[in-house]
Amino acid sequence: MFFTAPFRSLFHRGLVAGQLGATSAPVALAQMPDSETNFWHRQYRFEPYFVAGRSFDQYCPAYQLGWQLAQSPEGSCVDFDAMDRELNLRWTAINGSSLLNWSQVRLAAKAAWERGMRPQSPDVMSVVAGKKLVRTQEAARQFRQSSVSYLASGAQGMHAEALKRFAAVSAKLLSELEALPVEVEPLPLVSGKAVPYVLERSRQVWRDSGLMAADSIQDVLAKLQTWLDAVESMCQEMLPAHARKLLSHHMLVLRGQLEAVQWLSRGQA
């Protein structure tokens, strides 16, 4: 939601002006959305200005004030410090009964203003991204199974040594993927998209029994490519900042490993 007039204009015509004796009627300001309130409720204790013993209710009006400034036409083209005097007056007029004065909440208001001024990543993963994460996790598991199968067959060479060294790295990457929060139902085994997973599990059982040949280096590379493709697809979604940073790192690692093994395995059957 946005203001219908500049923040400075609302300040003089609105609630603060009314408190100071202006004759114009108070102007209602936009309310901070629940998503922002929830974000600050989770975050405020970790902010550098937080003082132990102070509750979220004491900081919330400051977050509201900073968010309102960010949403105003004027707030998007002035520096926060340039509005300090007016924000101080407004805080005093609207929150005069607060236990905290402006100097004690100023940084909280500025943090909310700064957050409101920049495009926001979602705080939680979308359903589509969550489903892609499940597929990415499974792609990682299938690569690891294929790599183990190939190495167990007695593969030799520099590419095999590279795969052995990558085993610990790939385990860490998979662990990081599994630690990402996701709230989607597992892919149903009867669906078309789950068929590759079922087939892979069946193949693994046959390999373990010795009735099926181990994966080739081409199989390993194909599964590594599938894992990389899945990560790249995830990075095209709107993701929480921490998830995007993690997956961007995964993408670089997987690309490097794929290129290295492809080059080292030239000429391998």
Same-domain status, 161 and 251: yes
Same-domain status, 142 and 93: no
pLDDT for residue 195 is more than 70:
no
pLDDT tens per residue across span 243-261? 888 999 999 999 999 999 9
Same-domain status, 47 and 81: yes
pLDDT tens per residue across span 35-88? 889 889 988 988 889 999 999 999 999 999 999 888 887 666 678 888 899 999
Residues 208-226 have a mean pLDDT of 81
Q: Is 120 or 197 the better-scoring residue by pLDDT?
A: 120
Q: Is 35 or 7 the better-scoring residue by pLDDT?
A: 35
Same-domain status, 228 and 162: yes
Same-domain status, 75 and 134: no
Q: What is the mean pLDDT of the chain?
A: 79
Structurally, how many domains does the chain consist of?
2
Check if the beta carbon of residue 32 is closer than 8 Å to that of residue 66. Answer: no
Q: Is 21 or 56 the better-scoring residue by pLDDT?
A: 56
Residues 200-207 have a mean pLDDT of 54
Whether 122 is covered by a domain: the verdict is no
Same-domain status, 113 and 131: no
Q: Is 225 or 92 the better-scoring residue by pLDDT?
A: 225
Domain, as residue range, for 178: 127-264
Q: Is 52 or 10 the better-scoring residue by pLDDT?
A: 52
Same-domain status, 241 and 131: yes
Per-residue model confidence (pLDDT) at position 30: 73
pTM over 0.75? The answer is no
pLDDT for residue 25 is more than 70:
no
Same-domain status, 134 and 239: yes
At 170, the pLDDT band (50, 70, 90 cuts) reads very high
Report for 8-17, 111-120, 191-200: range of highest mean pLDDT: 111-120
